[in-house]
Amino acid sequence: MNNLLFITGLHAGLLEKKLVEPAHREHLEVIHDTIRKAGKLASQLTGFSSRKPMAPSTIDPGRLIGEMELLLNKAVGKEVDLQIQLAADLWPIHVDRMYFENSLLNLCINARDATNGQGLIVLKAENVVLQRGDHVLISVTDDGCGMDDSTLARIFEMFFTTKAPGKGAGLGLPMVKNFLNHAGGLLEVSSTPGEGSCFRLYFPRSGASAESEPVEQELATGAADETILLIEHDLEVRNAMAQVLYELGYQVTTA
C-alpha cells in the first residue's frame, strides 16, 4: 500500500509542475491530502498487525487522538456513536506512538464488539493528579454487555477471549497492559454485566515538551554533472523516483 501511495504521490507532484490553472491545481491539492491521509492509515494498520520494539518519544496525546479520529470512526462503524472528548492543554506524555495508537484502536474495537456495533463509546482524555504525581488519564467507556467478575479476572491472559471463533485472538488487551507497564503507567478496568465497561489508562506527565511534526523540505536541484545511484527492488517505485530525480536535473543510474 505504501509503495502504491508513494508512486501516486510522485506522479502527482510531477503533474503539478505542468498545471497552470488554479482549478486544476486545487484538484492536485485534494489528491496530495488524500495520499497523506491514506499513508497515515496504512502506517497505523501496519503497526496494529505487527509487534515492533518500543521507541518512546514525547507526544501531545490530544493531537495524536485527533489525528486518529478518522481511523477510529472507520473501525467502530457508522452505527456506533463514538464521542471523543479532549480536555484543553493536555500534558505531554512519553510513550511509543505506535503502541499508543494501537492500544486506543484495540480498546475502541473491543467496545464496538461489546455494544454489538450499535452502542455508545466515549473516548476521553484529561489531566489528573494522583498521589504518585501528574498523569494524563485516557478512558474508553461503552454501554455494552459488560463483564462479570470471573471474566474480568482473565481479560489480560494471553489468548483468552470471549469473542466467537475467528473474531479475536486474545492478544489485544495483554498488549495494552504490556504497553502501560513499559510506559510506567497504570491500567484500571471496571465493568458491570448489562451496563458496560470502562478502561482507564494513566500515563505519567512528561517533563519535556511534545516533539513537533517534521517539516517537509524542498528537494534540492541537481547539477548536470551530478549522478545519483538509485537502488530499489520495486520496478514501479524505482522508475517513479528516477523520473523525479531526472526532473530535478540529476543524472541517474538505477539498479
The whole-number pLDDT of residue 102 equals 86
The mean pLDDT of the chain is 85
The whole-number pLDDT of residue 164 equals 62
Highest mean pLDDT among 21-30, 41-50, 195-204, 222-231: 195-204
Predicted confidence band of residue 66 (pLDDT cuts 50, 70, 90): very high
Q: Lowest mean pLDDT: which of 155-164, 210-219, 220-229?
A: 210-219
Q: pLDDT tens across 99-144, in order?
A: 899 899 989 999 998 898 889 999 999 999 999 999 999 999 999 9
Predicted confidence band of residue 161 (pLDDT cuts 50, 70, 90): confident
Structural element, H or E, at residue 134: strand 133-142
CA separation (Å) from 191 to 9, 152, 249?
Answer: 46, 8, 63
Q: pLDDT tens across 168-186, in order?
A: 666 778 888 888 988 999 9
C-alpha cell at position 188: 484500571
Residue with cell 461503552: 142
- Percent of all residues in the chain with a pLDDT value above 90, rounded to a whole number: 37
Predicted confidence band of residue 16 (pLDDT cuts 50, 70, 90): confident
The whole-number pLDDT of residue 232 equals 92
Q: pLDDT tens across 82-97, in order?
A: 999 999 999 999 999 8
- Percent of all residues in the chain with a pLDDT value above 70, rounded to a whole number: 85
- Average of per-residue pLDDT across 11-27: 83
CB 115 within 8 A of CB 143: yes
